[in-house]
Amino acid sequence: MSKTCVITGASRGIGRAIAVSLSSREDITNFILISRTEEGLQETANQMKQGKQIECHAIDLTDYKEVENLISSVGNRYGSIDLLLNVAGFANPKSLLETSIDDWETTYKINVHSIFYITKEAVKFMKKTGGKILNVASTAGMTARPGWLAYASSKAAIISMSETLSEELSEYGILVYCISPGRCATELRKILAPDEDPTTIMQPEHVGEVVDHLLSDNGICLDGQNIIVRKQVQQKNTVSDKVLSEQTS
């Protein structure tokens, strides 16, 4: 079966890694890559497995008219939208007193409103055939993140939206998945933690592999819940390390 897959935030980071990973799948033949940067989208397309139909669309997801036109054109041309992956996100970490109403609105427009809107437009097509939606939230939406007020609360909204939509859209045969990655080496993470060594944390490719599994036929019983995707911090000099070193020395 030839499936059509729409991926936002595909110009770099986690969105690119997911696109590259999914391009190895036989059942997905058409990819619609979205972000504001044409160059980044083209680079993602270059890294994907060849032989697929790949469209790059440089649009701002907060331009709702553009989103509506694009999704309508994709749905009409391919006959269906089988997979919608809402990966695009934005972070500008600030405390309550530093956050202006503009900061707040910008974060919510990209992280929440645009997901509401593109999902609504895509479901108009998906409800005819069923399909899968995957939203990328964050562990920041699950526990307190002082200094990241707008970002963390916007991600909590995505977890809640995903849970509600999972039940609401089940009548159309649409499964809704939600993942909450932990620290992952991308440009967005550099904004949140500029002093961190990116080689010590989860890589975007790890998230890509998890999403590939979730959206495969093996990803049963994993929809409708918030799934944490996190690399465990490796503790140095733990008791077991000490025992091992004593045993091997």
Ligand X SMILES: NC(=O)c1ccc[n+]([C@@H]2O[C@H](COP(=O)([O-])OP(=O)(O)OC[C@H]3O[C@@H](n4cnc5c(N)ncnc54)[C@H](OP(=O)(O)O)[C@@H]3O)[C@@H](O)[C@H]2O)c1
The residue ranges that bind ligand X (CB under 6 A) are 8-9, 11-15, 35-37, 40, 60-62, 87-90, 110, 136, 138, 181, 183-184, 186-189
Of 160 and 170, nearer to ligand X (C-beta) is 160
Phi, psi for residue 133 in degrees, rounded to 5: -120, 135
Residue 6 Rama label (left phi>0; alpha psi -120 to 50; beta): beta
**187 or 246: CB nearest ligand X:** 187
Least distance CB 62 / ligand X (angstroms): 5
Residues in CB range of 92: below 8 A, 6 or more apart = 103, 106, 107, 150, 151, 191
Least CB distance to ligand X at residue 128 (A): 26
- Could you give the dihedral angle defined by the CA atoms of residues 200, 201, 203 and 208, in that order, rounded to the nearest 10 degrees? 150
Using alpha carbons, select from 133, 135, 119 the residue that is nearest to residue 71.
Answer: 119
Residue with Cβ nearer ligand X (89 or 219): 89
Nearer Cβ to ligand X (171/197): 197
Which residue, 52 or 109, is less far from ligand X as judged by CB?
A: 109
CB of 79 to ligand X, least distance (A): 25
Residue (92 or 170) nearer to ligand X, CB: 92
Would you give the DSSP letter of residue 186?
S
Query: How large is the angle between the packed helices 149-168 and 101-108, nearest 10 degrees?
Result: 30
Smallest distance, Å, CB 2 to ligand X?
25
Smallest distance from ligand X to CB 110, Å: 5
The C-alpha atoms of residue 23 and residue 76 are separated, in whole angstroms, by: 22
Q: How far is the CB of 151 from ligand X (least distance, A)?
A: 7
Q: Which residues of 115-143 are buried (b: 16+ CB within 10 A; e: fewer)?
A: bebbbebbbebbeeeebbbbbbbbbbbee
Please state, in angstroms and rounded to a whole number, the distance separating the CA atoms of residues 107 and 138: 14
Direct distance between the N- and C-terminal alpha carbons of the chain, in angstroms, rounded to an integer:
57
